[in-house]
Structure 1
Amino acid sequence: MSLNNIIPFSEEQKATPGSCSTRTVTLIVPVYNEEESIQPFLDKVSPVVNGIATGVKFDILFVNDGSRDATERLILSAASCRSDISLINLSRNFGKEAALYAGMCHAKGAAVIPLDVDLQDPPEVIVEMIARWRDGAKVVNACRARRPGDSWLKKATANAFYRVFNTLAEQPIPRGVGDFRLFDREVVQAICQLGERSRFNKALFSWVGFEAEEITYERPARAAGETRWSYWKLWKLALDGIFASTTVPLRIWTYFGIFMALVSLAYSAVILGNTLLFGVDVPGYASTLILILVFGGMNMFALGIIGEYIGRIYTEVRQRPVYIIRSLHPSTETEV
């Protein structure tokens, strides 16, 4: 089975937004141990998408990211009764970034909308997304105006991440916008051509450009189940996002090293002049130890940043696939 296939343009997908032909929109839903959320999600999404004006039809593409519970069985059970549901089973848990990439590479719609199965991405927002898309927007970002379901710590760390990332990154990402967006097929094609292994989708979505519009919504609490995102996983995702999107941390330490070299040279000149003019002072143990510890700690920190980049270089040069597919349902693949 070929990996990372990109679905080509169909005649339907090439139609202009204003055409009267029926166009398909694919909802991409990554799932990992979400057996409690599958049925509530379908019950909530189906009436919304079925009620959208004529000219648009929907299909739902679940990406099972190595679930170990009954998630796969429940999706297959729903798919046996509905022709608009399909499923990609990955061979193990590759992470949400890889699962979303797999979904985008296999989505067949003229537009795609990634959304979470926990219903924190309200399906009602899709109506406005479709309206903006039909008016010509290539990307429609859904911005979270309020997040009442999140703790103050999660809100604070999220705001801090956006500030740090947008300060360092060459291409900023919109604050408060997650993966819940609409992408025209042209944008999907561009995103799927980006083959890096260390993926931070929010940065990639911004990097490809295209005309983007923004709508706001209030993010509710989870409808069922528990989040899989611990603070440790969020921390690792933040590091991936920064180190995969910019080399500014390396540049900062280059400038800092030059600054410290100049300061050290000036200080050495002062010590030398003081010794020649006034003789040798009794060396201070405390000041020497402090200097050793401070500079040693800074060196280790700098080496850690360099190590983060080297680790990502190692991941890229191995050229392993971003994901591996165990099975597809329906089993027939679109020929490319």
Structure 2
Amino acid sequence: MYNEEPGIQKTIDVLLNYCQNRPEDYELIFVNDGSTDKTEKIIKEAVVERPEIKLVNFSRNFGHQLAISAGIHYTSGDAVVVMDADLQDPPSIIPSMISKWHHGYDVVYGQRLHREGETFFKKATAGAFYRLLGDVTSINIPLDTGDFRLMDRRVVDVLKRMPETDPFVRGMVSWVGFKQAAVRYDRQERIAGETKYPLSKMLKLATDGLVSFSMVPLKLAQWLGSVLLIGAFVSFIYGIITGFGLGVEIMCLTTLIGGFVLLAIGILGNYIGRIFVQSRARPLYVVSETEGFAKQSSTIKLEDRQRM
């Protein structure tokens, strides 16, 4: 949850109504990713009224994927369902996930057929990203899926041992393996409020996915360098033979090569930067407080990093 005040009470009511009509024992863990509105206050009031509701409060905004990691860390159930607080992923799909889980599947992911309330640009770029990711990675990340999924406890335990500073959870779940299946559904519009995933965050998520699971960007620098060297050699020979436009060609090639060098440095910097961040061994996130758990916690310690 991040600034979900307009719709969080509706989310609580819908989830409670769903859970009360199910035979399973359940807990509802809300992760507050540094909200600055009344989201935290509303959840705390719900915790007092309903013991099955629990709250994990971040000390600041750490981001969507780390909020998922925190929620997974605090779960205790035999199966865990991850979903956002905006109800775009309807709880009515969860019984189908549970059914497949009972039939032996360790991961049951929601696969979107339609995406209501989203712009053509977002749909087109999301579709292109998933297809690109499938082409450049060695793992099978299903098309048109998000983080809405059910995971068996043994999958969750593996994820908790993957302390990545820039996690791409849906890719990590695919990397883990086990027996996986899809449940197809139509994604709904947000119940209230605005999306918390603008273009900048979408680009970061895409970068995390590509860099975390593919070496193609690094190889791309090598391929482009080879092409430019060949082009430069051919142009140089052509200029000598014809005696025409050699200075212009050299200037254009110099500019082109300079641009490529900066691009290559940027790609390398992205990978090296992640190595640097990971090597600092800071906590992935800081929890200011928890509510509703048997044993309250004020922070995630450094040593917990190795178990997440």
Q: TM-score, normalised by structure 1?
A: 0.83
Residue 323 of structure 1 corresponds to: 285
Q: CA deviation at 1:219?
A: 0.5
Q: Partner of 1:137 in structure 2?
A: 105
- Shift, 1:244, TM fit: 1.7
Task: Give 1:130 deviation, angstroms.
Answer: 1.1
Q: Could you tell me whether the CA contact under 8 Å between 2:239 and 2:245 is conserved in 1?
A: no
SS of the residue corresponding to residue 58 of structure 1 reads coil
> Whole-Å Cα distance in 2 between the matches of residues 332 and 46 of structure 1?
20
1:119-134 alignment runs, 5 A limit: 119-134=87-102
Cα distance in 2 for partners of 1:288, 1:96 equals: 47
Structure 2 CA distance for partners of 1:217 and 1:269, relative to 1, 3 Å: same
Instruction: Choose the corresponding residue for 1:57, options 15, 19, 25.
Output: 25
User: Are residues 1:196 and 2:164 paired?
Assistant: yes
Structure with a larger share of its residues in helix? 2
User: What SS class does the counterpart of residue 88 from structure 1 fall into?
Assistant: strand
Q: 1:287 aligns with which of 239, 242, 249?
A: 249
Structure 2 residue ranges without an equivalent (≥5): 298-303
Q: Per-residue deviation at 1:115?
A: 0.8
Residue identity matched to 1:295: I
Residue number in structure 1 paired with 2:300: none
Tell me the equivalent position of 1:172.
Answer: 140
> Which residue of the other structure, out of 172, 191, 198, is the alignment partner of 1:230?
198
- 1:71 aligns to 2:33 (yes or no): no
1:181 maps to 2:143: no
| 1:158 aligns with one of 112, 118, 126 | 126
Q: CA 1:334–1:190 in 2, change beyond 3 Å: closer, same or farther? A: farther
Which protein has the larger Cα radius of gyration, Structure 1 or Structure 2?
1
The range that moved more, 325-334 or 133-142, is: 325-334
Q: What amino acid does structure 2 have at the position aligned with 1:39?
A: Q
Which residue of structure 1 aligns with residue 13 of structure 2?
43
Structure 1 residues 169 and 210: CA distance shift in structure 2, 3 A? same
1:51 maps to a residue whose letter is: N
Find the aligned partners of 1:225 and 1:172 in 2 and give their Cα distance.
33
Q: Is the 8 A contact 1:198 1:315 kept in 2?
A: no
1:94–1:323 contact (8 Å) kept in structure 2: yes
SS at match of 1:80: helix
Q: Quick one: distance in 2 between partners of 1:121 and 1:282?
A: 63
- 1:301 corresponding residue in structure 2: 263
| Kept after mapping to 2: 8 A contact 1:140/1:181 | yes
Q: Which amino acid aligns with 1:251?
A: K
Q: How far apart, CA to CA, are the structure 2 residues paired with 1:263 and 1:218?
A: 49
Shift of the 333–180 alpha-carbon distance from structure 1 to 2, 3 Å rule, reads same
**What is the distance in 1 between the residues matched to 2:53 and 2:135?**
41
Instruction: Give the aligned CA root-mean-square deviation in angstroms.
Output: 2.1
TM-score normalised over the length of structure 2: 0.91
> Which secondary structure state, in structure 2, belongs to the residue aligned with residue 217 of structure 1?
strand
Q: 2-side partners of 1:334 and 1:323: how far apart?
A: 16
What is the CA distance between 1:122 and its match in structure 2?
0.4
Q: CA deviation at 1:321?
A: 1.2
* TM-aligned CA deviation for residue 260 of structure 1: 3.8
Deviation above 4 Å: which 4+ runs of structure 1? 262-272
Q: Which residue of structure 2 lines up, in the alignment, with residue 104 of structure 1? A: 72
C-alpha deviation, 1:259, in angstroms: 4.2
Task: State the AA in 1 paired with 2:79.
Answer: A
Q: What letter corresponds to residue 165 of structure 2 in structure 1?
A: R
Structure 2 contact 232–253 (Cα < 8 Å) conserved: no
Same amino acid, percent of matched pairs: 37
SS in 2 for 1:113: strand
CA shift, 1:288, in A, is 2.0
Aligned residues: 298
Cα offsets for 1:88-120 (capped at 9, x unmatched): 111111001111001101101111001111110
- Answer whether contact 1:197 1:319 (CA < 8 A) is retained: no
